[in-house]
Chains A and B, each alone.
Chain A
Amino acid sequence: MSNSILESVDAAGDSTPGRTGTSAGTPASTIVMSMQQALNRALDEVLAENPKAVIFGEDCGQLGGVFRITDGLQAKHGAQRVFDTPLAESGILGMSVGLAMAGFHPIPEVQFDGFAYPAINQIVCQIARMNYRSRGTLPMPITLRVPSFGGIRAPEHHGESLEALFAHVPGLKVVSPSNPHEAYHLLKYAATRPDPVIFMEPKSRYWQKGEVNLAHGEAGAGSPTGAKVMREGRHLTLVAWGAMVARCLQVAELAAEDGIDIEVLDLRWLKPIDAEALAASVRKTRRAVVVHEAPLTSGLGAEVAQLITQSCFDTLRAPVERVTGFDVPYPSGDLEDEYIPNIDRILFGIQRVLEYKRG
């Protein structure tokens, strides 16, 4: 990808995004679990497979995390590898820098999206550029887990969408899973990268269950890089990530009742963005709507719209629409249903694209 100058040499040689269509068949290694269970399992396996992997954060150890993502891991792998930290995000990420320099693979957790702000200096000024600054001698294999986005009626700082902020920083990769299967495979992949990855977990989807095919590779999960078509369609592409993918899939079902055949593209990687997948989908459908929870202005929807416009200008039937949160601080739980794009707002966005007339 274009930011290869910032990337470490990847031992697996696998940094090229590739697309994976919806898989067919149900292999024997498929089990049903929640995203919380899938993430827990992935972390358990990472700890078992990589003796240098360490997990830490506020309440990650004894309690097992406020969302139970690290449940049971301290008991199984020991308090030297899974441990609690003080309430000090800058310290959590600063410690990650030192551990990475010493050859560890830190998997820190920032307990909630809005708690990442105190750690921005460590993330932006150290983690993102240490490899670059040191001419590749000090890679930062850090997987920062951030329970992200809204939808759980939580207080301030517990429902924010920071993907555009992270994606803007050279040296960081950003990914968000949309379901348990993606969560398992993307976390296992992210936790083996030689570069820092911001792993944004959609906390409103932690408890929904889904099929997870544990097998790796083309026979199982397919490629862990790039975007993924979650539903094929002919008339319009909905682009989303995280919790909005499930909502867009619902919208696609409803649109089908009206005779509109919608493709849903789960972007998965928000940095680097799979521009080829966007192009391939929208060249087919000729219409696109981007959906995200984050505020509109300078949100990642703008980047997606530009990438689509760049590759599909001649075929687009309408300007790319954005259906997003509003340009306000994330509201309290009572108001979040008004803030997060709901089914009707997404349908309105689709309708605006469908009825657009040139000239």
Chain B
Amino acid sequence: MAEISFPLPDLGEGLIEATVLEWLVSPGDQVERNQPLVEVETTKSAVELPSPQAGKVVRIHGGPGDKINVGEPLIVFEVPDNTAGIVGTVPKEEAPKRRVRLSAVLDED
């Protein structure tokens, strides 16, 4: 297993920090990609941050009311080794399927 840290992303032009309003996940939770993780408030708006990936939550940083700077750790996931990248999925390894049969009279010269 590997740990992957997700830092607070840049939430908008010029914003350098955000305040945690409410965590929607807890350590130990298994989350899916795009699942809402946390509600944070910036000087512009309150937003829910979707998870960048699937994984098990190991740690969350900051409780309600705490300020977190952009780029500082927000949440740490535990993922199996060799999982998909952040974009796309891992192709399934399937037994090859066929419908086409070959037929040929081969001249073995």
Contacts and interface: CB of A to CB of B under 8 A. Distances in A.
Interface of A: 34, 36-37, 59, 62, 65-68, 71, 112, 151-155, 158, 203-204, 206-209, 235, 250-251, 253-255, 258-260, 333, 343-344, 347-348, 350-351, 354-355
A348 B100 contact: yes
A343 B98 contact: yes
Closest 6 CB pairs of A and B: A152-B88, A354-B104, A154-B88, A67-B85, A347-B100, A258-B102
Contacts of B91: 151-152, 204
A355 B105 CA distance: 8
Nearest to A344: B100
Given A347-B102, A350-B102, A354-B102, 13 more contacts: A36-B82, A62-B7, A66-B87, A151-B91, A152-B85, A152-B87, A152-B90, A203-B88, A207-B83, A207-B90, A250-B96, A251-B96, A354-B106
A251 B8 CA distance: 47
Contacts of B106: 235, 260, 354
Interface string B90-109: 11010011111111101000
Contacts of A250: 96
B15 interface: no
Contacts of B88: 152-154, 158, 203, 333
B89 A344 contact: no
Nearest to B79: A68
- B interface, over-half SS: loop
Interface residues of B, number: 23
Contacts of A354: 102-104, 106
B58 to A, nearest CB: 17
Contact of B98 (A154, A158, A254): A254
B100 A34 contact: no
A208 B99 CA distance: 25
Contacts of A206: 85
B103 to A, nearest CB: 7
B24 interface: no
B1 interface: no
Contacts of A112: 87
Interface string B42-60: 0000000000000000000
A215 to B, nearest CB: 24
Given A153-B88, A207-B90, A235-B106, A253 B96 contact: yes
A37 B104 CA distance: 42
A152 B86 CA distance: 11
Nearest to B7: A62
Contacts of B99: 344
Contacts of A355: 103-104
B53 to A, nearest CB: 10
Contacts of B101: 258, 347
Given A204-B91, A351-B103, A354-B104, A152 B98 contact: no
B11 to A, nearest CB: 17
Given A343-B97, A344-B98, A66 B86 contact: yes
B2, B7, B84, B99: residue with the most chain A Cβ atoms closer than 10 Å: B84
Contacts of B86: 59, 66
B102 A152 contact: no
Given A37-B82, A207-B84, A255 B89 contact: no
A158 B104 CA distance: 39
Interface string B4-25: 0001000000000000000000
Nearest to A349: B100
B96 A254 contact: yes
B13 to A, nearest CB: 15
